[in-house]
Amino acid sequence: MKGKEIKQKGLGRIMIRKWRVYSLFLLLTLVLAGCGEPYLSTLKPVGEVADKQFFLTVLSTLIMVLVVIVVSIIFFYVIIKFKRSKVGEETIPKQVEGSRNLEITWTTIPILLLIILVVPVVAYTLELGDTSAMEKKKRDPEKTLVVNVRASLYWWEFEYPDYGIITSQELIVPTDQKVYFKLKASDVKHSFWIPSAGGKIDTNTDNDNKFYLVFDSKRTKKAGEYFYGKCAELCGPSHALMDFKVKTLSQNEFLGWTKKMADYQKPKSTSDLALEGEKLFKEKNCLSCHAVDPGDERPEAARTAPNLATFGERTKVAGIKDLNKENVKVWLKDPESVKPGNKMTGTYPKLNDSETDALYEYLKGLKME
């Protein structure tokens, strides 16, 4: 008997330790759930798509929590009621094998829970997967905007085919309307994800994926009108650094932006240092990969690096570092130290300080006038 008691005490201590660990993980989950920023959190949706996906997340979580609570109550009830020290070693509880009522109960309840979960999931999947509007030949781009998204190692290109505009690393979208996306990858599989606006969708090399997102004007304004986008598919050593920014504008502001971009004229370098940078940009053959005009008419296969038009207006360099002189110079001198595995490394001779100073002066002048 003493051996059994010691064994039971040992098991009890192990269970207590495990429950402490489980409790710690549960507490950590709750704490981390409150850490999301409005521009990068699935828990703070900013549009119709995100709202519906958030509802499904909450619904499925509540169902799972309910099941865990009920099962836990039954589990502890049985442990306490039929404890050996209470009922004796020889006691055998009443057997319920073949009970019709119990069989019906534990079959019906899971089916009902499954129906409660499946019906809205299927309904929202069909609704959110409807991209027929973007296929219409006579669609109005002001009401049905289409953006072609192309993912490359480790940067993003956004093409507005109705307006003849191409941008990189910064996606500009209007609020309070459906924005349709046509997505593909140019090298390996990536995944397009704006956490605050909706779930991820893969970008493949052999087919186009399509979906839409909606950005609510009131909530985007509250969040600061800027959002972070991510690659959500492991694609290489700099996967975690494959970010882009999303800027939301009102419908009128967006149309104004498209007109300015359509009329874009490359700014003329005025200072001697900027002129030297422009000369270096051509001599180092940067133009063979980078365009400095949003109306880049080269075929897709020739657009092997980000479009640098309006580079001077961006807030990030390489999509991840604050745009300032120091960070631009580090990126130009050694891009591998910033984004390992990028395709820019080794495509041009090493640059000295005076050359990077000149290139920075030229690049920061690339703005809409």
Query: CB–CB of 48/229 below 8 Å?
Result: no
The pLDDT, as a whole number, for residue 183 is: 97
Query: CB–CB of 253/238 below 8 Å?
Result: no
Write out the residue range of the structural domain in which residue 343 sits. 272-363
Please determine, for residue 26, whether its predicted confidence score (pLDDT) is greater than 60: yes
Alpha carbons 358 and 270: distance in angstroms, whole number: 12
Please determine, for residue 111, whether its predicted confidence score (pLDDT) is greater than 70: yes
Query: CB–CB of 331/247 below 8 Å?
Result: no
Evaluate whether residue 276 is within a structural domain: yes
Interval 170-185 mean pLDDT: 96
In sequence order, what are the residues at sequence separation of 6 or more whose Cβ sits closer than 8 angstroms to the Cβ of residue 191?
Answer: 200, 201, 202, 203, 231, 232, 233
The pLDDT-based confidence of 308 (bands split at 50, 70, 90) is very high
Evaluate whether residue 240 is within a structural domain: no
Interval 242-261 mean pLDDT: 95
Evaluate whether residue 192 is within a structural domain: no
The pLDDT, as a whole number, for residue 35 is: 54
Q: CATH number of the domain that 332 lies in? A: 2.60.40.420
In the chain, what is the greatest distance between 2 CA atoms, to the nearest angstrom?
98
Report pLDDT digits (tens) over 337-360. 999 999 999 999 899 999 999 999
Mean pLDDT of the chain: 88
Whole-number percent of the chain with pLDDT over 70 = 90
Alpha carbons 266 and 67: distance in angstroms, whole number: 62
The pLDDT, as a whole number, for residue 269 is: 81
Evaluate whether residue 81 is within a structural domain: no
Alpha carbons 320 and 170: distance in angstroms, whole number: 12
**pTM of the predicted model as reported, rounded to 2 decimal places:** 0.83
The pLDDT, as a whole number, for residue 324 is: 94
For residue 93, what is the DSSP state? P
Report pLDDT digits (tens) over 255-281. 999 999 999 887 888 899 999 999 999
Evaluate whether residue 235 is within a structural domain: no
The pLDDT-based confidence of 14 (bands split at 50, 70, 90) is low
Find the radius of gyration of the CA atoms of the chain.
Answer: 29
The pLDDT, as a whole number, for residue 78 is: 83
Evaluate whether residue 150 is within a structural domain: no
Q: Helices 272-283 & 353-363, crossing angle to 10 degrees?
A: 100
**Domain total for the chain?**
1
Strands 316-317 and 321-322: antiparallel
Interval 211-223 mean pLDDT: 93
Please determine, for residue 1, whether its predicted confidence score (pLDDT) is greater than 70: no
Residue 83 CA to its chain's centroid (Å):
51
Evaluate whether residue 125 is within a structural domain: no
Task: Provide the 3-class DSSP secondary structure of residue 357.
Answer: helix
